[in-house]
């Protein structure tokens, strides 16, 4: 659709390499990463994402920074979007809501570790609260989190973001945009 609507060109799409263990461990516990890599999740943790989730996790970073000749990046261009990611329910030590690895947090922590950014902001506009995002960056003054979501929707437990905009059920476009 992005190509059909002339919003993007084929050169704008990236195919990232898998995230390294070092990148994942900046956000997630060693136990959780090990379980994902070895397929030793408990029955309640079974998601078996392995390499696929590592590649998706890396795509969040790829949209922020590019090292190729085209040089497209959010750091250079002022905008980047990860169409396959946004796994905002993943916590450091477990996954929730079909989210095993928090791709945005991995990208932010990598950019911070490389000295590319000191501060970051996560603006989450999904219908669900970004509970993993809020938990990971809680008490971290270097990352501002905003979640705009349907208040009575998943998840039941919603750790506080820097700012939470709780929308009522059936809020229309006008209400949403007025936030």
Note down pLDDT in tens along the chain; length 179 residues.
889 999 888 887 777 777 889 989 999 999 998 888 887 877 666 643 433 454 455 555 555 554 444 444 667 776 666 666 678 999 999 988 888 889 889 888 988 998 988 999 999 988 999 999 999 999 999 999 999 999 999 999 999 999 999 999 988 888 888 87
pLDDT at 155: 93
pLDDT tens per residue, range 68-87: 444 446 677 766 666 666 78
How much is the pTM? 0.76
End-to-end CA distance of the chain: 28
Q: Quote the CA–CA distance of 127 and 142 in Å, as a whole number.
A: 25
Within 10 angstroms of residue 49's Cβ, the number of other Cβ atoms is 19
pLDDT value of residue 82: 66
Q: What is the pLDDT of residue 128?
A: 92
Asked whether the beta carbons of 84 and 56 are under 8 A apart, the reply is: yes
In three-state secondary structure terms, 163 is strand
- Residues marked active site are found at 89
């Amino acid at each position: 659709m992005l190509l059909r609507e002339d919003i993007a060109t084929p050169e704008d799409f990236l195919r990232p390499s898998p995230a390294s263990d070092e990148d994942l461990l900046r956000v997630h516990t060693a136990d959780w990463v090990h379980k994902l890599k070895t397929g030793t999740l408990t029955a309640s943790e079974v998601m078996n994402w392995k390499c696929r989730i590592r590649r998706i996790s890396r795509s969040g970073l790829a949209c922020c920074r590019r090292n190729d000749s085209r040089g497209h990046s959010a750091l250079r261009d002022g905008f980047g979007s990860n169409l396959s990611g946004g796994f905002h329910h993943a916590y450091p030590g477990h996954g929730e809501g079909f989210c095993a690895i928090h791709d945005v947090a991995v990208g932010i922590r990598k950019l911070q570790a490389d000295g590319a950014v000191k501060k970051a902001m996560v603006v989450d506009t999904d219908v669900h609260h970004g509970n993993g995002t809020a938990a990971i960056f809680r008490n971290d003054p270097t990352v501002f989190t905003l979640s705009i979501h349907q208040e009575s929707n998943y998840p039941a437990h919603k750790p506080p973001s820097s700012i939470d905009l709780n929308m009522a059920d059936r809020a229309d476009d006008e209400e949403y945009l007025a936030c």
